[in-house]
Amino acid sequence: MSTLPRRFLRHLDATGMLPAGSRVLAAVSGGADSVALLHLLHGAAAARGLTVEAAHLDHALRPDSPADAAHVRDLCGALGVPLTVARIDVAALARSRGGGVEEAAREARRGFLRETALARGCGWIALGHQRDDQAETFLLRLLRGAGTTGLTGMRPVDPPFVRPLLPFARAELAGWLAEAGIGWREDASNLDAAFVRNRVRHELLPLLASYNPAIGERLNELCRQLADDEADWSVRVAAELARVAELGDDECRLPCAALGAASPALAGRLVRGALKHVRGDLRRLDAGHVRAVLALAAASRPQAELHLPGAWIGRRYGILRLRRAPPPIVTQPPFLVDGPGSYPLADGRLLQVRLLAASAGEGAGVAEFCAGSVGFPLQVRAPRPGDRLRLPGAGGTRKLQDLFVDLKLTQEDRAAAVLVLAGGALLWVAGIRRCAGLRSVAGCGTVLRLELSAPSAARG
């Protein structure tokens, strides 16, 4: 007689993953693992004060998928377990999104389970992943170049998801079902060598088992050790990111010097932490992507950028800007200023143009000129190649591009700069630099005052 149900109860008690009184939604595909999960949870319900329901999603990928749903209905009916069934055309979903069928199936399944759990008042969703699945996941991620974070494998508890079967092997679960006379469905696609996971399952793992029959258990233990290490690292990395980085709602600004001063292990984790902050997860990213970000931080070019799956990273002098997409650039369309007034700019600011009897003083965002030497209309526009500005002590004009380099303006700030000109001569790079000469001085008469107002001030 198998001891599986008793060991399953002990596992629940040892981990505390399903506290007494929990309402649990079991994801049941009809395969051996999920059928074992359903029966083990049902058996534990009375002893541990659990309320168990089930959910089945027909992915519409196989002609016999309706038979899977019917089998799950029969199982749940025999146990008296409430069941929710839905059908989603996953192939059509994949085509509409331009992705793979496996990814679309996973997203559809997760969405369905979350919605069902919410509708049924279940706080936990139990998945049927077992020890061999964990070993396969480890090897798949290793082959794809995952770092130590990815190699931790599937977490036993990842709210609202729990994986109560991770300590148990696929063969043991199937053997227990067979012994108990409980049937399950076989998915023929699990034998299709076109899927990498199937080749890992049927070719690579058996080969490794020929060297060590306990390879599944060893890989699971390695996943647990890595998970413990990563849990400690995550606390340290979060604290270091909060100390050295500027974390916004949609952007992280990370000093290149902080990465250069960190150990290789910490630097890589800082990059992953910053990427997770802006993306929400690290899916489709691997160790090679992290190395590319670190190389960008160490590069000699003051400005460069990198595009990763779901992320944009721009080096702007000594700062890495990490975002989901490149920052928007608002370029000022040209217009004429015919006289005093308030003129809205493309970025939401206001350009205030006034004529004063005497100077009120210049400051940040303010430039004054002798009105007798500057006539209307003024021209307002974005920078253009070849623009030049007369600077104090320059003995002539200087290329605006060279000034931008000296001021270390980012590419975005350069493109968004607002220029004010009179008669084709550049008077003011608004808020950045004014031209030499034409200043308002005592006795010059009327003063032309140009002032930038921030968007908030403009609204007020």
Kindly state the percentage of the chain with pLDDT values over 90: 77
What architecture is domain 4-222? 3-Layer(aba) Sandwich (3.40)
Could you give the CA distance from residue 91 to residue 96 in angstroms, rounded to a whole number? 9
CB-based contact 450:355 (threshold 8 Å): no
Could you give the CA distance from residue 27 to residue 387 in angstroms, rounded to a whole number? 65
CB-based contact 335:321 (threshold 8 Å): no
pLDDT band of 360, cuts 50, 70, 90: confident
Taking CA atoms, 260 is separated from 215, 229, 297, 305, 318, in Å, by: 38, 23, 8, 18, 11
Domain residues of the chain, as ranges? 4-222, 245-323, 335-459
Contacts from 240-244 at CB under 8 Å and sequence distance 24+?
A: 240/266, 240/270, 241/270, 241/273, 241/274, 241/277, 244/270
pLDDT of 460 reads 39
pLDDT of 459 reads 42
pLDDT band of 132, cuts 50, 70, 90: very high
Query: What's phi and psi for 390, nearest 5 deg?
Result: -80, 125
pLDDT of 111 reads 96
Which whole number is the average pLDDT over 402-410?
92
Could you give the CA distance from residue 282 to residue 269 in angstroms, rounded to a whole number? 12
- The domain made up of 335-459 has a fold known as Phenylalanyl-tRNA Synthetase; Chain B, domain 3 (3.50.40)
Does residue 377 have a cis peptide bond before it, meaning omega lies within 30 degrees of 0?
yes
The yes-or-no verdict on residue 441 having pLDDT over 70 is no
Better-scored residue on pLDDT, 112 or 374: 112
pLDDT digits (tens, 9 = 90+) for 251-288: 999 999 999 999 999 999 999 999 999 999 988 888 88
pLDDT band of 189, cuts 50, 70, 90: confident
The yes-or-no verdict on residue 17 having pLDDT over 80 is yes
pTM: 0.72
What architecture is domain 245-323? 2-Layer Sandwich (3.30)
Could you give the CA distance from residue 383 to residue 419 in angstroms, rounded to a whole number? 7
pLDDT digits (tens, 9 = 90+) for 140-160: 999 988 888 889 999 999 999
Residue type, 88: I
The yes-or-no verdict on residue 394 having pLDDT over 80 is no
